[in-house]
Amino acid sequence: MADQVLDAKGLNCPLPILKAKKALKDVPMGGTLQVIATDPGAVKDFEAFCRTTGNELMESKEDDKVFSFLIKRTS
């Protein structure tokens, strides 16, 4: 279970990323944030976001057009 969960369903680019960035600030170092989104572009975007910011994308999965990303705050 993630330390924090962000529901970004129904939001379009770039809002899931912007809201995730805000939410990550409240996650302790080493803690995790789960983002739930329906924007299919978010799959590649969260990979790029994590690579660039130095956070770890631990999991990226889809279930019936709902995407879930698990990010570990490491920066």
Partner 1 sequence: MADNAGSNTKKLSMIVTKGSLDWAYPPFILATTAAAMGLEVSMFFTFYGLTLLKKKLDLNVTTLGNPAMQMPMFGMHIGMPNLMSAVPGVDAAATAMMKNLIKKKGVASIEELREMAVEADVEMIACQMTMDLFEYTMDDMIEGPVLGGAATYIETATNSDINLFI
CA dihedral sign of residues 38, 41, 47, 51: negative
Residue 2 or residue 24: which is nearer to partner 1 going by CB? 24
# residues near partner 1 by CB under 8 A: 15
Pick one of 52, 63, 64, 65: the residue that binds partner 1 (CB under 8 A). Answer: 52
50 is catalytic: no
Q: Which of 7, 10, 13, 26 is catalytic?
A: 13
Distance CA 59, CA 71 (A): 7
CB 13 within 8 A of CB 39: yes
The site map against partner 1 for 9-48 (x = CB under 8 A) is -xxxxxx-xx-xx-----------------x--------x
Largest CA distance in the chain: 31
Q: What is the DSSP string of 23-41?
A: HHTTSPTT-EEEEEE--TT
Q: Which residues participate in catalysis according to the annotation? A: 13
Residue ranges that bind partner 1, judged by CB under 8 A: 10-15, 17-18, 20-21, 39, 48-49, 52-53
